[in-house]
Chain A
């Protein structure tokens, strides 16, 4: 079955510390992967996406993610977290057979300590 797993429900880091949010997917075909951020009460903002090519992708706000096919992972990273990064982060895979739709993980809530 197609699925996305975000193993960490909550993560707390200190401002200035590095960050890694985990995402594992289960999808039989070539995955098209996305990371979104959602602030409280807001919609989804696209951080970055992976379709093909270089497995390290750069996104907005200093985020990057690395696609590892062997591990079925697409982890999000940031070298130095800012207080404004506190939000919920969602990983998603786009299905490319039948109806093209997104399957989302359950999200990781990031708290940043000053």
Chain B
């Protein structure tokens, strides 16, 4: 059974650019959540996708958007990057939107210069 994978591992972008991060969910899981972990902080919920539709959103601006594909993999897109977007972005998958347990990927480290 393959766990949650994320790509790329590291990424460096310039302020104002756009970025796409990718996540493959664990086999059998149809729900993906994204979290942002700024340096020295705990992860914060960005949004969740269930069966290709957004199923809840945290306190993040609209320039943070996402997609989920029929195979339940997911993308996180961030437009107009700001320096404060520098963080570790974690993807987590779960069996369903009603499942209590989420399984985390290794994360993508985004640096905005």
Contacts and interface: CB of A to CB of B under 8 A. Distances in A.
A100 B99 contact: yes
Given A43-B104, A100-B94, A90 B43 contact: yes
User: How many A residues are at the interface, by size bracket?
Assistant: 20 to 34
A79 to B, nearest CB: 26
A99 B100 contact: no
Contacts, number: 61
Given A44-B90, A99-B48, A102-B102, A107 B42 contact: yes
Given A41-B109, A51-B100, 19 more contacts: A32-B100, A36-B104, A42-B107, A43-B90, A43-B106, A43-B107, A44-B104, A46-B104, A49-B101, A92-B42, A94-B100, A94-B101, A94-B102, A99-B45, A100-B98, A101-B45, A102-B92, A103-B45, A107-B41
Interface of B: 33, 35, 40-45, 48, 55-58, 88, 90, 92, 94, 97-102, 104-107, 109
